[in-house]
Amino acid sequence: MTRGFYTKPTLEVAKKLLGKYLVRKIGKKKLSGKIIETEAYLGPQDKASHAYQGKVTPRNQAEYLIGGHVYIYLVYGMYWQMNISTGKAGRLECVLIRALDSNLGKIASGPGKLCRYLKLDKSFYGEDLTKSKRIWLEDPAPEQARCRASRVIATKRIGIDYAGIYWSKRKWRFLLKRDF
Give contact residues for DNA (rule: CB under 7 A): 39, 41, 48-51, 55, 57-60, 63, 71, 73-79, 81, 83, 94, 96, 109-114, 158-160, 162-163
- By beta-carbon proximity to DNA, the closer residue of 25 and 113 is 113
Q: What contacts 39, CB < 8 A, 6 or more positions away?
A: 14, 95, 96, 98, 157, 158, 172, 173, 174
- Min dist CB 146 to DNA, Å, is 28
Three-state DSSP class for 111? helix
- Min dist CB 60 to DNA, Å, is 6
Kind and range of the H or E element at 117? helix 111-117
- By beta-carbon proximity to DNA, the closer residue of 76 and 180 is 76
- Min dist CB 83 to DNA, Å, is 4
- Min dist CB 10 to DNA, Å, is 11
Handedness of CA 40, 46, 49, 54 (dihedral sign): positive
- By beta-carbon proximity to DNA, the closer residue of 78 and 165 is 78
What is the signed CA dihedral for 143, 83, 115, 169, rounded to 10 degrees? Answer: -90
- By beta-carbon proximity to DNA, the closer residue of 44 and 140 is 44
| CA 142 to chain CA mean position, Å | 23
